[in-house]
Amino acid sequence: MDEREYLMNFDDIPEIPDYIEEKFRDVLSAYKTYMSRAHVKEEDLQEGLDLIEKAFLFAYKAHRNQKRKNGEVYIVHPIATAEILAELEVDAESLAAALLHDTVEDTAADTEMITEIFGSTMTNLVEGVTKLNQLSSITKEEVQASNVRKMLVAMTKDIRVILIKLADRLHNMRTLKYKKPQRQIGRAS
């Protein structure tokens, strides 16, 4: 079975370490709590939970052989991004996209797979976050210009892309201590 077939096969799920499963279950629990508080219909709640779980399984499989600079398995980062968004009580698509946000850029997954499994809205969210990653090459002077705000809005048709990217950056900032001092300064400025 090639990588594409493996990622698309939801019957073939590797064993997930307990601590990863627990972190993910915290995201699901938070989602369930705030959606129940909002009196969302049970079938809509379950649909959201199913989407988030499917995104987690896909992302876990896609990132299964990757580690972060601090030695953690990579999936910890997408889960932490989703945790930040769950604190903001976002919708299921936002949480799912947070879990998937690095799959197209950093793994064998591609937008065609995301569309096939999750639909075009999810692909637009994931691609939007990837496009925002490309803005890191802009100079400080350009960032300070008011045109950047207009460019951000023009680049994304969905404000959730910006929320996901901000949560992604926040988690990256929280883990700066694992980078070399020169990289810390570059990232923080």
Tokens read off for 95: 């949480």
Residue 174's pLDDT is what? 83
Confidence of residue 156 (pLDDT cuts 50, 70, 90): low
Just list the catalytic residues. Answer: 105-106
Q: Would you list the DSSP string of 2-57?
A: -HHHHHH-TT------HHHHHHHHHHHHHHHHHHHHTT--HHHHHHHHHHHHHHHH
pLDDT score for 129: 86
For residue 49, is pLDDT > 90?
yes
Considering only 76-85, 105-114, 124-133, which range has the smallest mean pLDDT?
Answer: 124-133
Q: pTM of this prediction? A: 0.85
- Rounded Cα distance between 34 and 38, Å, is 6
Say if residue 154's pLDDT is above 70: no
